Amino acid sequence: MAGLTLMKPVQIRVRMKVHVKAMSPETRLVSEPDHTLTLYVAAQPVKGKANREIVKWLAKRLGKSSSQVRIVAGLLSNSKIIEVDETTKNEVAKLLVVDPEALIEV
């Protein structure tokens, strides 16, 4: 079997850019008409509480572990890029009830 190469399965990840509004009455995601996403978060933006709430909330809705959802940019900003492992943008769009155009597969 010389020359046979095993390929790793392609791992699809999805990224979404969200505008975060902390200290909202409840945590919810809104897909705006212009394909942007606004994430209203119940937690305070203090000591990473809002970031932890974002990851936990998204992981639960997407059926993923918290380690499969991460904030890759904007930890200290209200504009964040969030990445989800092992999924497609159509799966994420369906589970979060958002426009697939607001998502990017990487």
Domain ranges within the chain, ordered by starting residue: 13-105
Domain 13-105 has CATH 3.30.1200.10: yes
User: Six-digit token pair at 105?
Assistant: 């597969």
State how far the Cα of 84 lies from the Cα of 11, in Å rounded to an integer.
11
Encode pLDDT of 32-78 as tens digits.
888 899 999 999 999 999 999 999 999 999 999 999 999 999 999 99
Q: Please check whether residue 38 is in contact with residue 19, taking contact to mean a CB–CB distance below 8 angstroms.
A: yes
pTM: 0.87
Encode pLDDT of 4-37 as tens digits.
666 556 678 999 999 999 999 999 999 988 889 9
Q: Please check whether residue 61 is in contact with residue 84, taking contact to mean a CB–CB distance below 8 angstroms.
A: no
Query: What is the reported pLDDT for 39?
Result: 96
